[in-house]
Chains A and B, each alone.
Chain A
Amino acid sequence: MAIDKDQVRHVAKLARLAFTDDELDRFTSQLSRILEHADQVSALATEDVPPTAHAIPMTNVFRPDEVKPSLPQGKALGIGPEVEDGRFRVPRILEEA
């Protein structure tokens, strides 16, 4: 299944990535080739085959709910690119009323 330039543009928007027109052309052709190869999976009959999300069977992993020391706020926030008053700072999200 090939992917066209408009679809690549749409997926880029979903993925929060921006491409120049040249990059869009290159990605369209590369992704199409990879998807053609990936499409080989459709040749296998998989009716009634359950999907595997996790290869090692494991269900309901429980642990005691104990309070333990965690990273102090300052250290956790220390990795943020912009921090103010103990919070991560971001550009305005809502317009002023």
Chain B
Amino acid sequence: MSELWRLGAAELARMIAAKEASAREVTEAHLDRIAVLDDRVHAFITVTPELARATAGEVDARVARGERLHPLAGAPVAIKDILCTDGIRTTAASRILADYVPPYDCTVVERLRVAGLPIVGKANLDEFAMGSSTENSAFGPSLNPWDLTRVAGGSSGGSVAAVAAGMAPLGIGTDTGGSIRQPASLCGVVGVKPTYGRVSRYGIIAFASSLDQVGPIARSTEDAALLLGVFAGHDPMDATSIDDPVPDYRAALGEGIEGLRVGVIADWMGGDGLQPGVKARVREAIDALAAAGARVGEVSLPVFEYALSAYYLIAPAECSSNLARYDGVRQGHRAANATDVVDLNTRTRTEGFGDEVKRRIMLGTYALSVGYYDAYYGKAQQVRTLVIREFERAYADFDVLVGPTSPTTAFAVGEKTGDPLAMYLSDVYTIPTNLAGAAGISVPCGLSDDGLPVGLQVLGPPLSEPLLFRVAAAYERARGPAPDPPLWSAP
């Protein structure tokens, strides 16, 4: 079996452009790897070999014609099954959309095709991206390539597990409250939550529209930076997309961090819920940033303690309104034997949604209902303003903020499914960034005492992605190569 799956995306694309390998060979190597491993990892809901081969064939034809290609052309990508694909079923890991075949591509997928990135499959997720472990998927959980008895994290756990296991060098997820960064941390890969509006949401099945954002997943910062460059940028189909030019995200990677002001979020590093092994690795990573020339200080951001509470009012409120469209009339599942329209709506939704989605619809409906709106939703939106102000205060003194991505390493399958609140707490460090519409990245920073990966989170203000990539790349150089999961050696 070909070993091409071991290589990074930029390296594969370079080889394809130099005719050292064909895009078709690269795609086949990853499809083979999926065929061998995915029974055990369950990263994918739908594998898409025909789609991948078609794109790879086009890339090879363009190479043969001597065309200039995108620096990732031919590098396979696993996309979260919440990105609509024309003619290919898109489930959002829900029974209600189990047979939904969209009539159009989302903008992100369109841009992947233009750049020549073969899509190898639609990756697993928590139903409608609601969860932190992929255990809420109607198709069963994705498992962690480091330890198949543990969760991959979520909600973009399938995309992340695919990248960590070598089934694709690149992945695409969505991050509404940490759904890219948390699984990236748990599986030991790089995950980026771009600024709200940096990437078009057109054709992304909606969860919480003021928070949802698409972002890249890769095994190196360079690959993640290049991938964001493929699909970032204004889109007339999404009125909330930012109309600013997209910088060359790779340009600043080598610049270093001499003199950069790095603020350590003291409330997180001193907090109770932080696993000691996570704390130790993050502390070492911060020391490495200081050794690379950063001016490291501490900052306290007490308002962040309330961010999780505000999020679990705002996100469910938006979810309850977004998911009202699944009524059994225009798309997806329709219940049989309904007596009238209300009965049709109720039976369809009761049969189609899983428990966590129902919980959030219920929470949101309650938080928006007469008599509770001001106390819950209104108040949470005010707290959102305070979170933004807290970030602004910190960025007066620091260029970036750092801390852990998640309080623990990957937990066991089933460990938190009975306690929704415990599950929510695994996103406690990622949520403030979503509320502020800002940017964040998680970079692997070693293994905890339990042998599982830990992520360093670097946060910056809106549109600070170039700076975040620069810090992450500088850290990677200081760290050296990250360890590979055990699945890397056992086929």
Question: A residues bordering B, Cβ < 8 Å?
Answer: 1, 3, 7-8, 11-12, 14-19, 27, 30-31, 33-35, 37-44, 46, 49-56, 58, 61, 63, 71, 75-76, 78-82, 88, 90-93
Contact = CB atoms under 8 A, between A and B. Distances in A.
Interface of B: 100-104, 195-197, 210, 236, 239-240, 242, 303, 305-306, 308-310, 312-313, 320, 327-334, 338-347, 349-350, 353, 358-359, 361-363, 365-367, 369, 375-376, 378-386, 388, 420-421, 424, 435-438, 462
Given A1-B375, A42-B375, 5 more contacts: A37-B308, A52-B435, A56-B195, A76-B103, A79-B101
18 contacts: A18-B350, A30-B359, A30-B420, A34-B424, A35-B363, A37-B309, A37-B424, A38-B310, A38-B312, A41-B306, A44-B306, A54-B437, A55-B384, A55-B388, A55-B436, A56-B196, A56-B240, A81-B329
B365 A11 contact: yes
Contact of A46 (B332, B379, B435, B462): B379
A58 B320 CA distance: 24
A78 to B, nearest CB: 6
B426 to A, nearest CB: 14
B472 to A, nearest CB: 23
9 pairs of A and B residues whose beta carbons are closest in the complex: A55-B437, A51-B381, A81-B334, A46-B382, A52-B384, A16-B345, A15-B365, A40-B309, A75-B103
Contacts of A52: 381-382, 384-385, 388, 435
B240 A51 contact: no
A89 B256 CA distance: 61
A75 B340 CA distance: 27
Given A17-B349, A81-B333, A12 B362 contact: yes
B312 A18 contact: no
B102 to A, nearest CB: 7
A58 B197 contact: yes
B196 A40 contact: no
Contacts of A39: 309
B362 A27 contact: yes
Given A52-B388, A58-B197, A80-B329, A44 B320 contact: no
Contact of B327 (A8, A16, A38): A16
Nearest to B350: A18
A33 B421 contact: yes
Nearest to B328: A81
Contacts of B367: 38
A30 B358 CA distance: 12
Contacts of B343: 91
B365 A14 contact: yes
Contact of A80 (B305, B330, B349, B369): B330
A50 to B, nearest CB: 6
Nearest to B334: A81
A82 B334 CA distance: 8
A39 B338 CA distance: 38
Contacts of B438: 55
A31 B303 contact: no
Contacts of A80: 329-331
A42 to B, nearest CB: 6
B353 to A, nearest CB: 7
Given A46-B382, A88-B329, A41 B239 contact: no
Nearest to B312: A38
Nearest to A68: B236
Given A27-B359, A78-B103, A42 B379 contact: yes
A33 B424 CA distance: 12
B327 A79 contact: no
A37 B438 CA distance: 25
B94 to A, nearest CB: 14
A39 B379 CA distance: 10
A65 to B, nearest CB: 12
A90 B330 CA distance: 10
A79 B438 CA distance: 35
Contact of B361 (A15, A44, A55, A58): A15
A53 to B, nearest CB: 6
Contact of A61 (B102, B210, B239): B239
Contacts of A63: 236
B210 A54 contact: yes
A14 to B, nearest CB: 5
